[in-house]
Structure 1
Amino acid sequence: MQPQQRLKRRHFLVLMGMTLVWFGLIARLWWIQLGAPHRFSKRGIDLVKSAVKQRQQSIVLHSGRGDIRDRNGYAFTGEEHRALILFPLARGSLEGTDGLSRLAAIVSEPVDRLADIMERAKAPLVLRDSDGRMIVLTEGQAEKVNALGIPGIVALEVTERYRQEEVAKHVIGFINQNPGMVEQLYPDEWASGKMNADSTIGASGLERSFDRFLQGVEPSILSYYVDGQGKPLRGLDIRYSRQDNEYYPLSLTTTLDVSIQRSMERIADQAGLERGSIVVLDAQTGDVRALVSRPKYDQTKVDLRTDSWKNRAVKQLPPGSVFKTVVAAAALAEGVVSPTDRFTCTGEYGKYHFSCWKKDGHGSVTMEEAYAQSCNIAFAEIAKRVGGDKLEEYAKRLGLSTYVGHVTPHLFKLDGFRQVDGEDPGAIFAQGVSRRDEGVLIQTAIGQRDVRVTPLQAANMVVAILRGGQPSQVRLVGEITYRNGQPFHQFPRQDLPVPGIDYVTASKLRKLMRKVVTDGTGKALDGALWEVAGKSGTAQTGGDETRNHLWFIGYAPADQPQYAICVVAENQPSWGNNKATEMFRRAVDELAGQTAQSFRPAAGNSPE
């Protein structure tokens, strides 16, 4: 080939290459702009929205999600209030005017503070006080603010999803943006582009378990469109999209009682509970009236590197001597022990380094006394008579080795729908461990070794004993309603799919639990406003012998039970007062006080 021909061929190849690159770029641009502007890249980036965001300043006035309420209609997810909304673009609108001073006079805030807020603002915000609470405006104040006509400053109704001072935060959960979770949970919506990387979904609690129902409609958004200098574009400066649908979003009516929830959280905080939980169930139905979890967390600033947002009430722990209730149930039901059978406790078992908590022993005690005094040696002997297989069977009968939260087999397109998010199932023996090993069996008898129970399961076991032996599923939500209040779906009460225990055994257990308070380890509760029955538990943490998990489960009033309660104080020192027992007593007194007040005659109607 001649040099001239080679040169021509080279030019041709270069030209063809440039042409292919050119067509590739055109195809790419077509795909970006027309083919998939809402579904660009594997991360589901919406290029249209991203482009708009560059010239748009927006603030969400209502998330568009449905509310989560207590059983009487109290909304845990915020109330609508008139508030002052400030956009960064307002800085240009205020230059050379007295608008800021006039605004300060209307909202009763110092001019310097408003000026500092405006100077620091990088995104639209709601005016708040020094504690971070929204400053609520009156109707008159709102009218005066809007009459100023300052672009970027407006007074409108705002509904915050979460309030700083709100309760039941671990039950409610939180929402966030998680593209991977959106794609996994909503594959159809992801594929169609209805949901993308900007979509917000429930991440924990009821927000997560009921996310499909709470999603609702588009959020209410206030937006300003601005130019490159951040000034409002004439004719396109403001847009307010507000939800207006009679039926959606749907809302949840929980079984929680906000008064009980608030008082239980106050008790936990006053007691200095750093890690633990309080569960209060209706003694007749098993419905949740309060679920408290500590440590606290901020729903608007969740640190996923910690577990403070996890609900401790549904996380499994070694229950200690609380598990002796299961041992007693199995022994009584199987007829291997009667309440009057005697055992000898010298303080030491003689092997496996197993001992009783009472160093010198309890001496000769009946089974009834051994339960009241929480004697380890007696219950080790009882467990040997019962056997590991029966212990595991009765734990299951009482709902301690399965999920207890309410399950709906088929809820619309959702199979096996669970109300309680993040619930652990509990366990008695580890996989592969022999149920006949004596060392394993006696440790299991006192709720140690591999035994794991959640506070919710323990409280539900108490309800089962009160209901004659049949455990129920725990309801956290009673119904889903349309926006107009009409019912969408109701969740019926239903039993756990386990056989339970017989009525006679349940009756004997109630007597044992009462004796714990009158003559045993729960004697500190004998002076509570209501008579109490229950069982204490102290479990080693496994890592530090000087720290224990402290439990107390029980019910009140003892003669006509209204509430089943479980209190757990985790990682407590092995000396000093029992924080779980103290909080249990305060919980009982609070519930007794609330009940008495609810039945108090109205003024002017008192009997003579």
Structure 2
Amino acid sequence: MLSRKRTIAAGVSILLLILCLMYRLADIQLISTKSFSKNNVNLIQESVNQRTHRFTINDGRGYFLDRNGELLSTDVKPQIVVFPNLYKKDWPIVTISEILQLPPQKIEEMIYQLKKPSALLLPAELTLQQMNRINELEIPGLYAQLVTRRKPLPFANHIIGAVGEDPDLIKQKYKDKLDKGTVSIATKTGKNGMQYTFDPFLISEGETQFIYHVDRQGNPLFGLDVKYRTQTNPLYPLHVKTTIDKKMQEAVERYLSIHQVEAGGAVLIDVETNELLAMASRPVFNSKTIYKHENKMTTHQIPGSIFKIVTAAAAIEENKVQNDKRYDCNVNIYGKQDERQLGMLNFEESFSRSCNKTFGDLANELVAENNNIIEEYAEKLGLLEFNGWRGQVYHFDNFSHFYQEEQGQIRNPNKKMQDYQSPLAISQTAIGQLDVRITPLAAANMMATIARGGTWSEVKAAKSVNFANGTELVEFKDHNGKKESLSPYTMMRLQSLLVNVVKDENGTGHALQSLPFQVAGKTGTAQKGEEANVYIKWFAGYFPADNPKFALVVVDMKHDTVNRTTSVYADIAKVVMEISDREE
């Protein structure tokens, strides 16, 4: 009896196992063919991929152009594409070698080394004439083609950003496209920078490829025909025309590297249009550190004496400046002897030589009448809000040109108001220390605002989004926020103060006197947290001072004994002016 029960149990177990295997097989073959397992694998597509040799000419993703129409995010190069399994001895190798000006054996050697469809690594760039002659031969498996490839990450690293696969993001943002089959979970999306913010316009609607089907042994399935597959909509891919000047961007990156700025960066703005011309942040990221190294130009930093511009503006506007009054600049805001013995200075001298005591005293005088006056003037100069372009674009209510831009702050929101009411706390705030934080982008925009005489507007990083044929899809109009928020007299005084920082032989920016044009600006040095020997060094300004064209901010967040900021600023400014003169 026991033996019979065991037999039945074993039989039932085997039957259940067979049923499970049958269900599993049915699931694979019939039920979950397009969404198998928790990873939603498309088994039909994967099966096709195993039997397909392909070469991608263009991934179908939209791209970025600079303000002059030059490619920023991609390179387009003429290349020879070879399907090695279609190579036959009757190929006209001699004719091909004559066109490419390479020995026949060298070409055969390159082909034999290929394991899959690839572009030949030629010693010289292919010309369009050579491309046409190759294609006239009509050789199966050999094609001359303009191939699009993404630029290496270091160029315009943080402002343009990177792309990569993110199945979760695809499911979250593009469920409708995923359901329609226009995208897959393997479609690349923007990870950061403008690649992320403009991703809805840039995401690929289909790749352009050479496709060739083979059997298990790699032999042709459908003869020697290689298919050419491309997007069905001729208006795609879209492209973004940015405001960036490629040559100026290259100059900014080059001099940050030459002067070994390890942490920090630079922002360059066109004063007249308030458009971003260049932005670079250090350290750059790679595919493994995309989320580790943020864009320091759009995240808030300790401004140090850059913030004295705000205190000066408040003092001028509120009639607290007495031209004949002198301040004891041998003493610091702590009431002790200062490291720099500057002597007795008036207001203008205090600004150009960056005396902390003067601006600490003025701030206390101002706050005695209005507790929020420093915050009010920081807001008038645009330091406490988003400075990058943002607004409604189609159904995107808060579309932004800048990825994860931060707003500035005067106080830490987690602290109490009374923490900022002591004379020392007021003085520290007045000179851009304590909990004051602004972004370098905001600082550059403030300089552009002062250079224009007071009109503030958001900084644009893109002019438009266009169809493939150049027709405009979206135009980004100027967003003017504050108009003449400070009196013309105050703006004129600020301009004069900024010029004197460089003109004054004892001014903190006097090193820029060697340039062939006048620079107006302000230096800033801020202690970085608790690290006593590590400072954030700034130079923010505009040039030429008598006819402002460019606002530039340079930040070195790992300043030690070497003053890099003015050297970087001088080199960038000089090249930018040269480029500008040539473009005009």
- For the pair 1:512 / 2:502, whether they are aligned, the reply is no
- For the pair 1:363 / 2:343, whether they are aligned, the reply is yes
The residue matched to 2:137 in structure 1 has which SS?
A: helix
**1:257, distance to aligned residue in structure 2 (A):** 2.0
Q: Are the counterparts in 2 of residues 225 and 237 from structure 1 also a CA contact under 8 Å? A: no
Q: Are the counterparts in 1 of residues 325 and 346 from structure 2 also a CA contact under 8 Å? A: yes
**1:462, distance to aligned residue in structure 2 (A):** 0.9
Q: 2:35 aligns with which of 28, 36, 39?
A: 39
Segments of structure 1 that go 5 or more residues without pairing to the other structure are 600-608
Out of 233-242 and 99-108, give the one that drifted further: 99-108
Cα distance in 2, alignment partners of residues 389 and 286 from structure 1? 29
Distance 1:16 1:423, change over 3 A: same
Map of 1:397 onto structure 2? 380
**1:120, distance to aligned residue in structure 2 (A):** 5.9
Cα-to-partner distance string for 1:444-489 (whole Å, 9 max, x where unaligned): 2222232222211110011222333342111101111122111111
- For the pair 1:247 / 2:231, whether they are aligned, the reply is no
Map of 1:605 onto structure 2? none
The residue matched to 1:313 in structure 2 has which SS?
A: coil
Letter in 2 for 1:423: E
Map of 1:606 onto structure 2? none
Cα distance in 2, alignment partners of residues 170 and 117 from structure 1? 37
Letter in 1 for 2:365: R
Cα distance in 2, alignment partners of residues 113 and 593 from structure 1? 45
- For the pair 1:318 / 2:302, whether they are aligned, the reply is yes
Provide the identity percentage: 30
Cα distance in 1, alignment partners of residues 433 and 556 from structure 2? 16
RMSD: 3.2
- For the pair 1:136 / 2:96, whether they are aligned, the reply is no
1:496-511 counterparts in 2 under 5 A?
496=481, 500-511=485-496
Q: 2:330 aligns with which of 328, 346, 349?
A: 346
Map of 1:604 onto structure 2? none
Map of 2:359 onto structure 1? 379
The residue matched to 2:535 in structure 1 has which SS?
A: strand
Map of 1:125 onto structure 2? 118
Cα distance in 2, alignment partners of residues 17 and 391 from structure 1? 79
- For the pair 1:206 / 2:194, whether they are aligned, the reply is yes
Segments of structure 2 that go 5 or more residues without pairing to the other structure are none
Map of 1:107 onto structure 2? 100
Cα distance in 2, alignment partners of residues 372 and 432 from structure 1? 34
Distance 1:32 1:398, change over 3 A: farther
Q: Are the counterparts in 2 of residues 81 and 158 from structure 1 also a CA contact under 8 Å? A: yes
Out of 447-456 and 201-210, give the one that drifted further: 447-456
Out of 106-115 and 285-294, give the one that drifted further: 106-115
The residue matched to 1:314 in structure 2 has which SS?
A: coil
Q: Are the counterparts in 2 of residues 279 and 565 from structure 1 also a CA contact under 8 Å? A: yes
Distance 1:263 1:330, change over 3 A: same
Map of 1:220 onto structure 2? 208
Q: 2:413 aligns with which of 407, 424, 431?
A: 431
**1:225, distance to aligned residue in structure 2 (A):** 2.0
1:121-200 counterparts in 2 under 5 A?
121=114, 123-128=116-121, 135-141=125-131, 143-144=133-134, 147=137, 149=139, 151=141, 153-162=142-151, 167-190=155-178, 193-200=181-188
Q: 1:490 aligns with which of 463, 469, 475?
A: 475
Cα-to-partner distance string for 1:542-582 (whole Å, 9 max, x where unaligned): 35433322211111121221111111223122x34x32112
Cα-to-partner distance string for 1:236-255 (whole Å, 9 max, x where unaligned): 76222023533222211111
Q: Are the counterparts in 1 of residues 454 and 483 from structure 2 also a CA contact under 8 Å? A: no
Q: Are the counterparts in 2 of residues 281 and 287 from structure 1 also a CA contact under 8 Å? A: yes
Q: 1:335 aligns with which of 299, 316, 319?
A: 319
User: What TM-score do you get using the length of structure 1 for normalisation?
Assistant: 0.85
Q: Are the counterparts in 2 of residues 60 and 219 from structure 1 also a CA contact under 8 Å? A: yes
The residue matched to 1:315 in structure 2 has which SS?
A: coil
The residue matched to 1:526 in structure 2 has which SS?
A: helix
Letter in 1 for 2:534: R
The residue matched to 2:74 in structure 1 has which SS?
A: coil
Map of 1:264 onto structure 2? 252
Letter in 1 for 2:384: S
- For the pair 1:7 / 2:38, whether they are aligned, the reply is no
Distance 1:193 1:97, change over 3 A: closer
**1:121, distance to aligned residue in structure 2 (A):** 4.8
Q: 2:443 aligns with which of 443, 458, 463?
A: 458
Cα distance in 1, alignment partners of residues 347 and 62 from structure 2? 53
**1:102, distance to aligned residue in structure 2 (A):** 7.0
- For the pair 1:525 / 2:507, whether they are aligned, the reply is no
Q: 1:474 aligns with which of 453, 456, 459?
A: 459
Q: 2:46 aligns with which of 50, 63, 78?
A: 50
Q: Are the counterparts in 2 of residues 384 and 442 from structure 1 also a CA contact under 8 Å? A: yes
Cα distance in 2, alignment partners of residues 430 and 82 from structure 1? 55
Cα-to-partner distance string for 1:300-350 (whole Å, 9 max, x where unaligned): x62326745x43322322122111111212222233344554311224444
Q: 2:69 aligns with which of 67, 73, 76?
A: 73
**1:375, distance to aligned residue in structure 2 (A):** 0.7
The residue matched to 2:365 in structure 1 has which SS?
A: helix
Out of 57-66 and 15-24, give the one that drifted further: 15-24
Q: Are the counterparts in 1 of residues 298 and 404 from structure 2 also a CA contact under 8 Å? A: yes
- For the pair 1:85 / 2:85, whether they are aligned, the reply is no
Letter in 1 for 2:249: Q
Cα distance in 2, alignment partners of residues 191 and 355 from structure 1? 71
Map of 1:546 onto structure 2? 533
Cα distance in 2, alignment partners of residues 561 and 316 from structure 1? 26
Distance 1:235 1:508, change over 3 A: same
Map of 1:441 onto structure 2? 426
Distance 1:102 1:415, change over 3 A: same
Out of 378-387 and 79-88, give the one that drifted further: 79-88
Letter in 2 for 1:126: A
Distance 1:456 1:305, change over 3 A: closer
**1:117, distance to aligned residue in structure 2 (A):** 5.7
Cα-to-partner distance string for 1:340-362 (whole Å, 9 max, x where unaligned): 543112244445xx764xx2422
Distance 1:137 1:331, change over 3 A: same
Distance 1:227 1:449, change over 3 A: same
Q: Are the counterparts in 2 of residues 81 and 137 from structure 1 also a CA contact under 8 Å? A: no
The residue matched to 1:448 in structure 2 has which SS?
A: coil
Letter in 1 for 2:241: T
**1:385, distance to aligned residue in structure 2 (A):** 2.2
Aligned residue pair count: 576
**1:372, distance to aligned residue in structure 2 (A):** 0.7
Q: Are the counterparts in 1 of residues 187 and 204 from structure 2 also a CA contact under 8 Å? A: no
Cα distance in 2, alignment partners of residues 449 and 368 from structure 1? 24
Letter in 2 for 1:55: R
**1:269, distance to aligned residue in structure 2 (A):** 3.4
**1:179, distance to aligned residue in structure 2 (A):** 1.2
Cα-to-partner distance string for 1:516-543 (whole Å, 9 max, x where unaligned): 1111111122232221111011222335
Q: Are the counterparts in 2 of residues 470 and 501 from structure 1 also a CA contact under 8 Å? A: no
Cα distance in 1, alignment partners of residues 131 and 488 from structure 2? 64
Letter in 1 for 2:176: D
Q: Are the counterparts in 2 of residues 448 and 539 from structure 1 also a CA contact under 8 Å? A: yes
Letter in 2 for 1:7: R
**1:412, distance to aligned residue in structure 2 (A):** 1.3
User: What TM-score do you get using the length of structure 2 for normalisation?
Assistant: 0.88
Q: Are the counterparts in 2 of residues 43 and 197 from structure 1 also a CA contact under 8 Å? A: no
